[in-house]
Structure 1
Amino acid sequence: MSHTATLDRTASAATPASIRSSAAALPAGTSPRGFALYVGLDEVKAAIDGVSLPILVDALRRTIAELAPSAETSAAVALAPQSAGGRDVDVVRLALKEPSATARAKQEAPKPETETGVVVDLSRKRIVIDGETAPLTFKEFELLQYLVLREGRTIERTELVTSLWETGDASAPGERTIDVHVRRLRSKLGRYEEIVRTVRGAGYRFDRHADVVIRYGTGAPSPDRF
């Protein structure tokens, strides 16, 4: 079968309204330098029509060379997984990274649900709150970890100071100034601050809530059993 590319010169001489409006909307200081024609057609559909993609590309090139000998052409075939759904032309636009199609795909892509709750990751020494790593200092993490490993037990201020600071450490807080460290820790826990409870006249206790996950991991301290 012979395939000849033909074009109605009378029709092509008239500029389509869509092209005229696009040209009028060009940003200041820019000018058209060419165009891209996205063709949605797989080889199966092309075979049904009695053609193939290489034949169509060659026909378009010869037509352009006849109408505009000075034009330069470059053809790109869009590849996509065989399971890709949607209209062929939309798949082609996305595969070739056509700007407006890529932007639209990002807008329509389902957004992952935000992780909520607290993850106390003892192996990595970090606290994740609602999907964001909390900016705890080393001592703040040690303080929380000490309470977590003794879940449900009230820890006196004296024990916290002697356990978390070396004897003779000039930066070690007193029994009362330990409260400052706890307040700073709780402020960084945000709406989950109540997992560190104040036991009036006694000390502090870690209470696990339903939205708190403890990850021990390999090499993490083992919880004390009381």
Structure 2
Amino acid sequence: MSNIALLEARPTDRHLHAVPPLPESPAPATRAARGFALYVGLDEVKAAEAGVSLPVLVAALRRTLAELAPEAETYATVALASDAAGGRDVDVVRRALREPSALAALAAETERTEAAARGVEFDISRKRVLIDGVSAAFTFKEFELLQYLVLREGRTIERAELVESLWADASDDEAPGERTIDVHVRRLRAKLGRYEDIVRTVRGVGYRFDRHADVVIRYGHGTPSPDRF
């Protein structure tokens, strides 16, 4: 051992302080298998088609266990679920009986579904807009206005063009002024809520639709953007 090491180890060295021993960590509790659960996805109709019933199957399994492991204790329960519960029968049973990994998988799937529903879905073929999965209550003109901008994505549309295109059949008295377009856009944005910035104002010019990552546009068949020709 070097001289430096010896000096550092001397208890009388005035620069050293006594270090209390670390507390002993409690020994981790041992875990061992205490049994198992067998989930069976089978309703009474399918069991009847196979010429058995659920009580008959349970009794048969218990007899087998009694033969193989006489000391084994058993407990049987029936999983109840609605007819609308989707997925494989065995997964429905696992969820109904609150099996942890099945519940975790269901929660993850629910999260994915909810995440997919968040945002704006503009369905041109069906003439509807979904905001976070809920149908937006746009008026006919509000929908036409948004559709006109969406189909010309990224291009700034002047107010005069919007008036000429969306009110082409209106008489001079019925056609709105360019400032009336601003009113329509404000109402449209209010209904878009937190996604209002997909309709951008280009100061002194007009409006532009900017697609975000949370915006989905479904054109359908036979509805191309006029700017794609």
TM-score category, normalised to shorter length: 0.5 to 0.7
Where structure 1 has 5 or more consecutive residues not aligned to the other structure, the ranges are 1-37, 51-86
Contact 1:120 1:128 in 2 (8 A): yes
CA distance in 2, matches of 1:206, 1:139: 16
Identity %: 66
Q: Report the residue type matching 1:144 in the other structure.
A: L
Tell me how large the CA RMSD over aligned residues is.
3.5
1:1-226 → structure 2 map (5 Å cutoff): 42-48=58-64, 88-89=76-77, 92-94=78-80, 105=96, 110=107, 112-113=110-111, 114=114, 115-165=117-167, 166-168=169-171, 171-225=174-228
Question: How far 1:224 sits from its partner (Å)?
Answer: 1.1
Q: How many residues of Structure 1 are paired with residues of Structure 2 in the alignment?
A: 147
TM-score by length of 2: 0.54
Deviates more, 1:38-47 or 1:173-182: 38-47
Structure 2 counterpart of 1:210, one-letter code = A
Would the alpha carbon gap of residues 40 and 179 (structure 1) be closer, same or farther in structure 2, given more than 3 Å must change? farther
Look up the SS of the partner of 2:216 in the other structure.
Answer: strand
* Post-superposition CA distance 1:80-122 (Å, at most 9, x none): xxxxxxx740xx241699xxxx9x9499663723221111111
Shift, 1:46, TM fit: 4.2
Judging changes above 3 Å, is the alpha-carbon distance between structure 1 residues 112 and 158 closer, same or farther for their aligned structure 2 residues? same
Superimposed CA distance per residue, residues 121-145 of structure 1 (whole angstroms, 9 cap, x where no aligned partner): 1111111111111111111111001
Q: Give me the whole-angstrom Cα distance separating, in 1, the residues matched to 2:97 and 2:162.
A: 50
How far, CA to CA, are the matches of 1:137 and 1:218 in structure 2? 24
Tell me by how many angstroms 1:209 deviates.
1.1
Deviation at 1:172, TM superposition (A): 3.2
What secondary structure is seen at the aligned counterpart in 2 of 1:189? helix
Contact 2:79 2:96 in 1 (8 A): no
Letter in 1 for 2:183: V
| Separation of aligned partners in 1, 2:123 and 2:110 | 22
Tell me, in whole angstroms, the C-alpha distance in 1 between the residues paired with 2:145 and 2:82.
53
User: Do 2:124 and 2:219's aligned partners in 1 also have CA atoms closer than 8 Å?
Assistant: yes
Is contact 1:154–1:202 with CA below 8 Å preserved after alignment? yes
Q: When the two structures are superposed, what TM-score results if normalisation uses the length of structure 1?
A: 0.55
CA contact (8 A) 2:121 2:217 kept: yes
- How far, CA to CA, are the matches of 2:190 and 2:141 in structure 1? 14
Deviation at 1:218, TM superposition (A): 1.2
Structure 2 runs not aligned, ≥5 long:
1-53, 67-74, 84-92
Distance in 2 between residues matched to 1:39 and 1:203, nearest whole Å:
73
Asked if structure 2 preserves the Cα contact closer than 8 Å seen for 1:150 and 1:225, the reply is: no
Q: Measured at CA, do residues 224 and 88 of structure 1 come closer, stay the same or move farther in structure 2, by a change above 3 Å?
A: farther
